């Protein structure tokens, strides 16, 4: 089968089986014909509002069918969706729009003047046949800002694909996909929509809740889903009866990505679900390369994120740009294809003249080419010359039975330059901070946190991302 526009793929699916349920959410079931009709009506409205081919349309809506309708309506109008978090502040939204103002906004209105605004996707149908067209960029998400100033990552691929090709070789072609993460996040967005375009049905949760995830899998016989490590940890904290493996027997695959996964958490998750049903992928919004590892392979090489797939090549380089041998830590560079899969708006790419690119992660490869990550170069805490990876500290803290979530970050220090601080969210009121610090010192020595700050709210967002610099500012001593 040849490539089709996203618009044509949806129309063909609706024509083949108008009553096929494509989306299940809190409002019930949405069929193929209902989604097709809603997307057509929205596309007419966007064109009437002045949206042109290849314009960007911001989408700031909660998880559910309206988000899906919005994106298909934008694609059918020949434009590019820009998924945005509903939690963005006005100043954060303004910063993004200074980089590239959208032509229109759906959901939360644009801050910039001149952008058309639709508060929701419920518009009256219009007469007329729309041309079968595709934007030259199929998505333009914004980064979370967890590693610095937010930027826009525009895909260089058009809104077309071959619907007969599976999303990935390790995922089922036909599936009921449970969508638990926020659809504005690039990975969730990509797997959900590429899944829908290649035969998946989506079961969309408005937010992740471990008990609801298990119940939704059981009720709708979901066959695969994407998780981040914080979700995995919360699932494992359910009482054994609530997470009985028989309740999720329909799951063929769980894919996790988006953040480092502590080895203890990964091992416990594999023990629960079974290693043959768990995959891990390392990639970024930029799609400049990716690696993959199965649960069974991980047990043979704990801590690895796998070997390169999809034509990806990997090099580990030192600060001067020289290649490092197997086993030595350096900056991870990847190359995939002859041309870039993305273009930044509001930032400069690190891609070199030979097509090698980096996400800024530190790691090494073993003799067989398996990649091991240690942390982001920008996140490393420099304690008197000792470079400490936050993920190592977090893994120890989260191994404590009274810690639900932990985030380590560097705090300025007159003697050491930086020292390790950590914010933790306890499981219950029983957390003894001094006992936790002693627990960490026993396992980390001088790399243990000099201070532990207890918080009551989640430290990472629904996509598993965290802003360490913001935590450092929040807990800085008065006057600093």
Helix (H, G, I), strand (E, B) or coil at 294: strand
Polymer length in residues for the chain: 480
Average pLDDT of the residues in 289-302: 95
Contact predicate 284/463, CB 8 Å = no
What pLDDT digit, counting tens, does each position of 414-460 carry?
Answer: 888 889 999 999 988 789 999 999 999 999 998 999 999 999 988 98
Confidence of residue 147 (pLDDT cuts 50, 70, 90): very low
Q: What tokens were used for 253?
A: 């695959």
CATH topology of domain 380-474: GMP Synthetase; Chain A, domain 3 (3.30.300)
Cβ neighbours of 416 (radius 10 Å):
18
pLDDT of residue 101: 93
Query: What's the count of helices (H) and strands (E) in the chain, helices before strands?
Result: 12, 26
Burial 356-380 (b: 16+ CB within 10 A, else e): bbbbebbbbbeeeebbbbbbbbebb
What is the average pLDDT across 147-154? 74
Per DSSP, the three-state class of 230 is helix
The residues near 10 (Cβ < 8 Å, ≥ 6 apart) are 32, 35, 36, 39, 72, 76, 197
Average pLDDT value for residue range 453-477: 86
pLDDT at residue 255 in the model = 96
Question: What residues have CB less than 8 Å from 271, skipping those under 6 apart?
Answer: none
Per-residue pLDDT tens for 74-98?
999 999 999 999 988 888 899 899 9
Residue in this structure with the two tokens 């149908």, named with its chain if needed = 125
Query: What are 201's two structure tokens?
Result: 């049905």
Q: How far apart are CA 115 and CA 471, in angstroms?
A: 34
pLDDT exceeds cutoff 90 at 378: no
In Å, how far are 8, 17, 207 from 31, measured between CA atoms? Answer: 16, 9, 22
Alpha helix positions (H), 1-147? 6-16, 32-48, 65-76, 90-99
Q: Do residues 184 and 86 lie in contact, with contact meaning Cβ atoms separated by under 8 Å?
A: yes
Q: Which two tokens stand for residue 431?
A: 């957390």
- Alpha carbons 183 and 167: distance in angstroms, whole number: 17
Least confidently predicted of 25-39, 54-68, 441-455 = 441-455
Nearest to 282, CA basis, from 246, 307, 248: 307
- Confirm if 106 and 120 have CB atoms less than 8 A apart: yes
Are β-strands 4-5 and 160-161 bridged in parallel, bridged antiparallel, or unpaired?
A: antiparallel
Higher pLDDT, 241 or 345: 241
The pLDDT confidence band at residue 149, using thresholds 50, 70 and 90, is low
According to DSSP, residue 51 is labeled: -
CA–CA gap between residue 418 and residue 133 (Å, rounded): 54
> Has domain 260-378 been given CATH number 2.30.38.10?
yes
Residue 343: beta bridge partners?
A: 154
Contacts with 97 (C-beta within 8 Å, 6 or more apart), sequence order: 110, 111, 112
Provide the edge-to-edge strand list for the sheet that holds 417-426: 403-413, 417-426, 451-454
Inform me whether the pLDDT recorded for 210 exceeds 90. yes
Taking the C-alpha atoms of residue 140 and residue 54, their distance in angstroms, rounded to an integer, is 11
The label of the residue with tokens 């797939």 reads 309
Annotated domain spans of the chain:
260-378, 380-474
Residue 1: is its pLDDT beyond 70? no
pLDDT tens-digit map of 184-194:
998 999 999 99
User: Which of 65, 61, 113, 66 lies closest to 82 in space, CA to CA?
Assistant: 61
Q: Per the structure block, which two tokens stand in for 448? A: 């243990």
Residue of 92 and 63 predicted with greater confidence = 63
DSSP assignment, residue 448? S
Question: What's the mean per-residue pLDDT of the chain?
Answer: 91
- Residue 144 pLDDT exceeds 60: no
* pLDDT confidence of residue 240: 94
Structure-model confidence comparison of residues 343 and 178, the more confident one: 178
In sequence order, the 6+-apart residues with CB closer than 8 A to the CB of 34 are: none
> Residue 391's closest CA among 331, 474, 316, 303?
303
Extract the tokens encoding 246.
């028989």
Question: How far, in whole angstroms, is CA 221 from its chain's centroid?
Answer: 24
Does 237 have pLDDT greater than 70? yes
Q: What is the pLDDT of residue 146?
A: 44
Minimum mean pLDDT range among 84-88, 232-236, 262-266, 382-386: 382-386
């Amino acid at each position: 089968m040849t490539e089709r526009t996203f618009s044509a793929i949806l129309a063909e699916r609706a024509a083949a089986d108008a009553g096929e349920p494509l989306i299940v959410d809190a409002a019930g079931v949405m069929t193929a014909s209902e989604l097709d009709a809603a997307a057509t009506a929205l596309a007419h409205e966007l064109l009437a509002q002045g949206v042109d081919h290849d314009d960007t349309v911001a989408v700031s809506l909660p998880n559910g069918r309206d988000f899906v309708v919005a994106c298909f309506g934008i694609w059918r109008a020949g434009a590019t969706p820009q998924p945005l978090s509903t939690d963005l502040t006005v100043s954060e939204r303004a910063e993004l729009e200074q980089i590239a103002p959208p032509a229109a906004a759906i959901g939360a209105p644009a801050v910039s003047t001149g952008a058309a605004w639709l508060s929701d996707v419920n518009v009256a149908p219009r007469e007329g046949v729309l041309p079968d067209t595709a934007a030259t960029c199929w998505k333009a998400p914004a980064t979370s800002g967890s590693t610095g100033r937010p930027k826009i990552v525009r895909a260089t691929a058009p809104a077309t694909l071959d619907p007969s090709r599976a999303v990935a070789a390790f995922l089922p072609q036909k599936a009921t996909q449970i969508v638990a993460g926020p659809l504005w996040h690039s990975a969730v967005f990509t797997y959900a929509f590429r899944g829908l375009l290649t035969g998946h049905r989506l079961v969309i949760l408005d937010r992740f809740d471990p008990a609801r995830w298990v119940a939704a899998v059981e009720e709708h016989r979901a066959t695969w889903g994407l998780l981040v490590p914080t979700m995995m940890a919360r699932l494992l904290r359910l009482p054994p009866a609530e997470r009985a493996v028989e309740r999720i027997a329909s799951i063929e695959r769980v894919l996790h990505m988006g953040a480092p996964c502590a080895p203890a958490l990964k091992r416990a998750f594999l023990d629960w679900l079974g290693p043959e049903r768990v995959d891990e992928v390392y990639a970024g919004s930029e799609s400049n390369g990716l690696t993959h590892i199965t649960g069974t392979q991980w047990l043979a090489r704990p801590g690895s994120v796998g070997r390169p797939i999809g034509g990806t090549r990997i090099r580990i380089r030192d600060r001067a740009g020289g290649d490092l041998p197997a086993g030595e830590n350096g900056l991870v560079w990847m190359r995939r294809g002859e041309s870039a899969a993305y273009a930044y708006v509001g930032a400069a790419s690190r891609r070199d003249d030979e097509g090698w690119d980096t996400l800024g992660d530190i790691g090494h490869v073993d003799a067989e080419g398996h990649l091991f990550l240690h942390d982001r170069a920008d996140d490393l805490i420099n304690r008197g010359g000792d470079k400490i990876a936050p993920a190592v500290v977090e893994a120890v803290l989260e191994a404590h039975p009274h810690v639900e979530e932990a985030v380590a970050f560097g705090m300025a220090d007159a003697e050491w330059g930086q020292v390790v601080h950590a914010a933790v969210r306890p499981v219950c009121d029983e957390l003894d901070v001094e006992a936790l610090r002693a627990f960490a010192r026993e396992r980390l020595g001088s790399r243990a946190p000099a201070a532990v700050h207890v918080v009551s709210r989640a430290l990472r967002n629904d996509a598993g991302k965290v802003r360490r610099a913001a935590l450092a500012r929040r807990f800085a001593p008065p006057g600093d």
